């Protein structure tokens, strides 16, 4: 089990100040939900898709980054569509750090800039896992990021692993 | 103990004043709103600093992992790691074998101990270092991992600075607001105090001073204007009441009370100056007959015309009064016996002339009694009694005017004061 995953919530509790505590309390439910999802040993961040996603199709890390930053990526004639999973804040941060290499605020600005400058639509955002899974099942080219155990539970196809908690 | 209680009462009185209420109100509003305002601003600022730090760390770490390239264990990679640790922002940089956990290349700061736990949030782990790991691969295919530790302290200092500045700005804002509120409320309180003083003056019957107030507060100005209107109304009412109390409503001449008052004043003034004055009592001769024959309305009109003629005869400084019915009094200030007689004859001339009322020609006639201060009396009662007796003598004798026969002071004799209270008969009545 990666130490950072154990430290996740503990680290933020150290912030002093009453209003910080209030913010922490407000974030706590989402935080606990996230912690419950990745607390299992060997947590893996995966790219998942619906059952109609081309079998055996894989993307390298640069292509995943390009896809979620608004680039055009196709597999077997199918244009891939990124879908943002906002159900778990910690999952989002891991994805941003290990795949996109930027902060959430910067990524949001980047998406807004793409929408305004290039007229590209913002990727759909889902706060609910079930709704996210339903969207992936209906759209053959739609891909998103989840914990591997969540993807299995929701019956989604794991395209590839993006990151795993396998630190020495 | 007593001083403490006095201080408490003074403080309570101050807090219950308009200024105190305003200041307390502003404090309450700011106590509720300022934490929200500055807390919100600081929260946004802090999140901005943290997000900027995380963004810089992630993007820089990514670029470094790309720069290390396909040979992260070569001399160029080692030089890059050492250069990174020299920059100060990166506290340590090392390459780890993912399979064994062994550090295969490193550039730590001297004395730097860094158990690696990857962070995903600013401040996570509580060690003021943001630990981040990126995948690498050795030329022989071994999976490696780049570990970097970024110093969070400068960002924390920036956040602390923002806190301090927000605190100073907040305190300055509160002080400035309280000063402004105190100034504004003091201005309003001053105006209200003036209104209060004016209302107290009016309540105590002193409404001779006008209230001219400009406070720049509409409600206070309106209150002051209403109070000033009320004061003017009271002044007019008081003047009307005073006039009614001192004047005869039918003729507009002074009434008995005013006449007595002016007679008293005239005696006092004459005592001081030594100047004589004359009192004439006038009684109409055939008024009752006219009143009975032609009715009260004609009688009233006749009385009004008589009053007008009397007013016409005397000077501005003299006084004409109606004592009741058809009886009048004239107070001729500064007039001696000769002057009084001259006026008495004028009065007779005026009243003997016919009156024309509602197409009737009426002849009424009059009898006049005359007394002179100080020769015929040194007080109101004696002067009036003397003039009254003379008037009845004139009426019974039909002579028109009669000077008082009683004299307490020879006209060329000693002063009135020396002979006060020693009446003397006047042997030579004058017609």
Shortest Cα distance from A155 to chain B (angstroms)? 28
Q: Which residue of B has its CA nearest to A166?
A: B98
**Residue A90 sits in the same domain as residue A129:** yes
User: Would B274 be classed as within a structural domain?
Assistant: yes
Q: What is the pLDDT of residue A9?
A: 38
Q: What is the pLDDT of residue B178?
A: 86
**Residue A54 sits in the same domain as residue A134:** yes
**Residue A78 sits in the same domain as residue A108:** yes
User: Would B299 be classed as within a structural domain?
Assistant: yes
Stretch B264-291: mean pLDDT: 93
**Residue A30 sits in the same domain as residue A69:** no
d(CA B57, CA B130) in angstroms, rounded, equals: 8
Tell me which of B53, B115, B118, B134 to substitute to probe the interface with A (most A C-beta atoms closer than 10 Å): B118
Tell me which chain A residues have a C-beta less than 8 angstroms from the C-beta of B35: 19
- The residue among A25 and B115 whose pLDDT is bigger is B115
d(CA A44, CA A146) in angstroms, rounded, equals: 8
Sheet holding B90-97, edge to edge: B103-106, B90-97, B143-151, B129-137
**Residue A89 sits in the same domain as residue A27:** no
Tell me which chain B residues have a C-beta less than 8 angstroms from the C-beta of A10: 126
**Residue A95 sits in the same domain as residue A73:** yes
d(CA B151, CA A168) in angstroms, rounded, equals: 23
Q: How many domains does chain B have?
A: 1
User: Would B88 be classed as within a structural domain?
Assistant: no
Stretch B190-204: mean pLDDT: 86
Tell me which of A9, A37, A103, A107 to substitute to probe the interface with B (most B C-beta atoms closer than 10 Å): A103
Query: Which is catalytic among the residues B326, B349, B379, B426?
Result: B326
Residue listed under structure tokens 């002067």: B383
Tell me how far CA of residue B330 lies from CA of A41, B277, B327, in angstroms: 127, 11, 10
What pLDDT, in 10s, does the model give residues A119-167? 888 899 999 999 999 999 999 999 999 999 999 999 999 999 999 886 5
Tell me which of B36, B56, B115, B120 to substitute to probe the interface with A (most A C-beta atoms closer than 10 Å): B120
Q: What is the pLDDT of residue A17?
A: 55
Tell me which of B58, B96, B103, B130 to substitute to probe the interface with A (most A C-beta atoms closer than 10 Å): B58
A94 has a chain B CB within 8 A of its CB: yes
A72 has a chain B CB within 8 A of its CB: no
| Residue B314 belongs to domain spanning | 251-425
- The residue among B113 and B254 whose pLDDT is bigger is B254
**Residue A84 sits in the same domain as residue A145:** yes
User: Would B155 be classed as within a structural domain?
Assistant: no
**Residue A108 sits in the same domain as residue A156:** yes
Q: What is the pLDDT of residue A166?
A: 65
- The residue among B91 and A21 whose pLDDT is bigger is B91
A152 has a chain B CB within 8 A of its CB: no
Q: How confident is the model at residue A39 (pLDDT cuts 50, 70, 90)?
A: very low
Residues B65 and B136: beta-carbon distance below 8 Å: yes
Would you tell me how many other CB atoms lie within 10 Å of the CB of residue A32? 12
What pLDDT, in 10s, does the model give residues B82-110? 888 787 788 888 899 988 888 888 876 65
d(CA B252, CA A12) in angstroms, rounded, equals: 98
CA angle B132/B135/B141 to nearest 5° reads: 155
Shortest Cα distance from A76 to chain B (angstroms)? 28
d(CA B132, CA B96) in angstroms, rounded, equals: 12
B208 classed as catalytic: no
**Residue A14 sits in the same domain as residue A71:** no
Facing A93 at nearest CB: one of B98, B100, B121: B121
Task: Please state the pTM of the whole predicted model.
Answer: 0.59
Tell me which chain B residues have a C-beta less than 8 angstroms from the C-beta of A160: none
What pLDDT, in 10s, does the model give residues A69-97? 999 999 989 999 999 999 999 999 999 99
What pLDDT, in 10s, does the model give residues B375-419? 888 899 999 999 999 999 888 888 788 887 776 655 444 333 333
d(CA A67, CA A75) in angstroms, rounded, equals: 12
pLDDT at A52 over 70: yes
Size of interface A-B (CB pairs under 8 A): 80
| Residue A7 belongs to domain spanning | 3-38
pLDDT over 70 percentage in chain A: 74
- Which chain B residues touch A if contact means CB-CB below 8 Å? 35, 39, 42-43, 47-48, 51-52, 54-55, 58-59, 61-62, 96-101, 115-121, 123-126, 131-133, 145
User: Would B343 be classed as within a structural domain?
Assistant: yes
User: Would B305 be classed as within a structural domain?
Assistant: yes
Tell me which chain B residues have a C-beta less than 8 angstroms from the C-beta of A101: 58-59, 61-62
Residue B332 belongs to domain with CATH number? 3.30.70.270
Residue listed under structure tokens 């002179």: B372
A147 has a chain B CB within 8 A of its CB: no
Q: How confident is the model at residue B356 (pLDDT cuts 50, 70, 90)?
A: very high
CA nearest to B65, candidates A47, A101, A96, A102: A101
Residue A106 belongs to domain with CATH number? 3.40.190.10
pLDDT at B251 over 50: yes
User: B125–A11: do the CB atoms touch at under 8 Å?
Assistant: yes
User: Would B402 be classed as within a structural domain?
Assistant: yes
Facing B54 at nearest CB: one of A2, A23, A103: A103
Tell me which chain B residues have a C-beta less than 8 angstroms from the C-beta of A91: none
User: A3–B118: do the CB atoms touch at under 8 Å?
Assistant: yes
Q: How far is CA B222 from the centre of its chain?
A: 10
Facing B125 at nearest CB: one of A2, A7, A106: A7
Residues B416 and B382: beta-carbon distance below 8 Å: no
User: Would B320 be classed as within a structural domain?
Assistant: yes
Q: Which residue of B has its CA nearest to A93?
A: B120
Stretch B25-47: mean pLDDT: 87
Tell me which chain B residues have a C-beta less than 8 angstroms from the C-beta of A94: 120
Q: How many domains does chain A have?
A: 2
CA nearest to B302, candidates B260, B250, B343: B250
Does the model's ipTM exceed the 0.90 cut? no
Q: What is the pLDDT of residue B20?
A: 82
């Amino acid at each position: 089990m990666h130490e950072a995953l154990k430290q996740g919530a503990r680290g933020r509790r150290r912030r002093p100040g009453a209003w910080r505590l209030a913010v922490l309390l407000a974030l706590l439910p989402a935080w606990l939900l996230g912690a419950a999802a990745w607390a299992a040993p060997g947590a893996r961040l995966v790219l998942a898709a619906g059952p109609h996603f081309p079998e055996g199709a894989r993307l390298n890390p640069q292509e995943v980054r390009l896809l979620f930053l608004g680039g055009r990526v196709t597999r077997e004639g199918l244009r891939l569509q990124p879908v943002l999973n906002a159900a778990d804040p910690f999952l989002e941060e891991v994805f941003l750090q290990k795949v996109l290499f930027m902060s959430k605020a910067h990524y949001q600005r980047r998406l807004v800039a793409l929408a305004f400058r290039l007229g590209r639509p913002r990727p759909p955002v889902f706060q609910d896992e079930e709704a996210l899974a339903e969207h992936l099942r209906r759209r053959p080219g739609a891909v998103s990021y989840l914990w591997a155990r969540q993807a299995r539970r929701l019956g989604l196809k794991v395209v590839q692993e993006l990151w795993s908690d396998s630190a020495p | 103990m007593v001083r403490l209680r006095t201080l408490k009462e003074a403080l309570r009185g101050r807090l219950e004043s308009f200024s105190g209420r305003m200041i307390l109100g502003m404090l309450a509003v700011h106590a509720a709103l300022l934490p929200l305002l500055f807390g919100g601003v600081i929260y946004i600022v802090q999140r901005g600093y943290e997000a900027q730090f995380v963004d810089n760390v992630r993007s820089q770490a990514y670029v470094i992992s790309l720069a290390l390239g396909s040979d992260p264990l070569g001399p160029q990679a080692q030089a890059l790691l050492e250069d990174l640790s020299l920059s100060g922002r990166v506290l340590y940089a090392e390459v780890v074998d993912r399979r064994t956990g062994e550090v295969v290349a490193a550039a730590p700061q001297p004395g730097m101990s860094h158990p690696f736990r990857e962070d995903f949030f600013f401040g996570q782990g509580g060690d003021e270092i943001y630990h981040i790991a990126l995948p690498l691969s050795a030329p022989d295919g071994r999976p490696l991992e780049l570990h970097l530790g970024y110093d969070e302290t400068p960002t924390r200092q920036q956040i602390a600075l923002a806190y301090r500045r927000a605190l100073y700005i907040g305190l300055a804002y509160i002080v400035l607001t309280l000063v402004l509120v105190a100034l504004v409320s003091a201005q309003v309180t001053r105006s209200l105090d003036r209104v209060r003083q004016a209302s107290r003056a009016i309540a105590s019957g002193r409404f001779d001073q006008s209230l001219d107030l400009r406070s720049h507060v509409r409600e206070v100005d309106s209150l002051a204007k209403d109070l000033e209107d009320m004061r003017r109304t009271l002044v007019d009412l008081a003047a009307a009441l005073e006039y009614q109390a001192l004047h005869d409503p039918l003729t507009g001449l002074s009434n008995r009370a005013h006449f007595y008052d002016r007679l008293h004043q005239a005696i006092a003034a004459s005592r001081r100056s030594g100047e004589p004055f004359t009192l004439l009592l006038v009684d109409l001769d055939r008024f009752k007959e006219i009143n009975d024959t032609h009715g009260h309305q004609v009688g009233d009109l006749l009385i009004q015309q008589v009053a007008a003629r009397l007013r016409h005869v005397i000077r501005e400084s003299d006084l004409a009064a109606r004592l009741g019915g058809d009886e009048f009094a004239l107070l001729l200030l500064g007039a001696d016996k000769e002057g009084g007689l001259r006026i008495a004859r004028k009065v007779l001339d005026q009243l003997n002339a016919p009156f024309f009322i509602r197409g009737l020609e009426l002849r009424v006639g009059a009898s006049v009694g005359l007394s002179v201060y100080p020769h015929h009396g040194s007080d109101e009662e004696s002067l009036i009694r003397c003039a009254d007796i003379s008037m009845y003598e004139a009426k019974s004798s039909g002579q028109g005017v009669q000077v008082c026969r009683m004299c307490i002071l020879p006209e060329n004799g000693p002063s009135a004061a020396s002979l006060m209270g020693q009446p003397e008969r006047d042997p030579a009545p004058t017609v």
